[in-house]
Amino acid sequence: MDIGMESLEQRYSEAMRTFTYQREHRDRWEGVLRRDAPRAVAVLKELGREGSSSASGDIHMDVYPILKAVHEAAIDGGPLWKSLVRAGIADGLCQTFIDLKVPRDYAIDEAPSYYFMPLDVLFQTTQNWNEPYGPTEKAIASSLKRHWAGIVKRLSEEPDFVIEIEEHLCQMRAIIPRLILKLMQVDPSFEDIFLVPSDPTVTLLTRYMLLAKNTADFLSSAFLVRHLIKPDGEQLRGLFSARERSQTDMCLRIVKATNRSYSKFFSQLASRPVWDSPTEAYQGIQLLLVLWDEAFTKEIDAFFHALFETPDLWRKLLHVMDISLSSPGTDEMKPYQLVMTLLSESLRHSYHDYPNYSERLLRSYIEGDILAVLDHVLPYCVSHLEVPEIPVLMGRLFSIMYILLENHPTLVPLLQSELPRPRIFRALTDSLDTPDGPLDPSPDRERMSGDSSTLLDDDSDEAYIRGGWISLRFVEKVCYVEKQCMRRGCIKKSVARCVKCSVTYYCDKVCQKMDWKEHKLVCQFLKDEDFGLFERKHKHISRRPRPQ
């Protein structure tokens, strides 16, 4: 018998040796809890300390019955639980969680570690809390706050929480962010913990998020990390002032989860199981936006270098935008607008501040079928959502795209089979019907000239709305192969043009007929001047139906 177990037996004699998994022994502990709550708390703490020094790990045979008895009392939430809280059971559970170390073999043991139970007991009892919070709830929150540094340190050391494990074990990680949210509701001063630069909680939550194998595990961590950076929900409103947020280097704490590598962070984020559902991907997109803003404000170059060079993430974002139309309930969340914001602002930022990365970023967009996705989504966004920011974002996106295509001609062949896009043209011209009235359809001559050096001179929202269709036409022009059929995907030589617009050329009547469904959307607005630039007729254009 080892020294640790011998010491334990000497202290608690015959009674302690009989407490095993069996139900009758748990019943004995329930009797102890009712008769002498302070003694039960003291024994629990001692069992935790002895367990940490036990080489065999058999100490959990003694800890398990008392934890089960405490757990049942906590779930009931009655007088017994309140008396235990007054006796300091919350401190006892926290200390047991920190002290108890139970060796386990992952090859043969698939159940959660027994040391996890003390924290689970505290979490389960918080799920029954409702405002107004009483002395029991406040006492538990206070105990967790006092022990939080030790709890997080213990979590960081336990393999269950820092390695990629089986999905059925992820429930252990998922309770941590939910527990934190509840504690912040009960005690707003709990936020002070996360403002300490050395606090590892955000790093730990990020690690959970990047190791998640199911969406619930990912979403609970991503939600809390996002709100700790920039709270905007009803539950967390006002927890951080602007001054406090500016002093916390959240990006630096987050990247510690991947050994200070932003590339690993974005790569692991792209591999999480949430990108096939817009409603589930919403938290990930929101997190990217607040991180983007944080990195932009603090000029974290490494963040943008890695972001611009992670094509898998951009493909996932474009995929989310593409499938949003067929997902119920997405109009309220507007995932289209969030992704369009990331696409447009990232391309602009790369062009102005990181020119060495702009070509790679645009290549990622093209490889993610950006034009096909916009062809599917943009008409609906313009005609049904009527979000004024979307035409601005698209006007800016196509303006910079045109400039980059001129500066990097090796990208042009990648787009030649993807153009033209009449549905996008029509959506951008429809956007001229603003809530404040129709905009002038004839922009200034410098913008119409196609001179890329002046295309971004006017950075106003109105200029991008008014000139979005022109910038897209420039993209089409720079990618057009002379004397080639203008039906998208056809590479035959053109022999005749459309009689109605005299601008679009086809290889034969069959090709023209195949193209008519799309071409008719813009045919009446084209005319043969200014290399095919079309201007809008002075009449109302009816809204297009939702694309199928």
Query: Could you report the per-residue pLDDT of 491-543, keeping only the tens digit for each?
Result: 999 999 998 888 899 999 999 999 999 999 988 777 644 434 444 333 333 33
What's the one-letter identity of residue 231? P
**pTM value?**
0.83
The stretch 383-387 carries a mean pLDDT of 78
CB count in 10 Å sphere of residue 430: 21
Q: Is the pLDDT reported for residue 296 higher than 60?
A: yes
DSSP 186-255: H-GGGGHHHHSTT--HHHHHHHHHHH-SSHHHHHHHHHHHHHHHS--STTTTTSS-HHHHHT--HHHHHH
**Could you read off the pLDDT of 87-116 as tens digits, one per residue?**
999 999 998 888 876 555 444 445 555 567
E runs forming strands in 28-148: none
Most confident residue range from 61-65, 271-275, 431-435: 271-275
pLDDT at residue 32, as a whole number? 82
Least confident of 357-366, 374-383, 459-468, 524-533: 524-533
Locate 430 and state its tokens.
């429809």
Q: Report angle CA 96, 101, 106 to the nearest 5 degrees.
A: 135
% of the chain beyond a pLDDT of 70: 75
Q: Which of 276, 163, 145, 168 is nearest to 214 (CA)?
A: 168
Phi, psi (deg, nearest 5) at residue 433: -80, 85
Contacts of 417 (CB under 8 A, 6+ apart): 488, 489, 491
Q: Report angle CA 452, 381, 531 to the nearest 5 degrees.
A: 30
% of the chain beyond a pLDDT of 90: 43
pLDDT at residue 531, as a whole number? 34
Q: How far apart are CA 314 and CA 307, in angstroms?
A: 9
Q: Is the pLDDT reported for residue 10 higher than 90?
A: no
What's the one-letter identity of residue 119? L
Count Cα atoms within 13 angstroms, Cβ side, for 90. Answer: 24
Confidence of residue 441 (pLDDT cuts 50, 70, 90): low
**More confident call, 277 vs 438:** 277
pLDDT at residue 124, as a whole number? 86
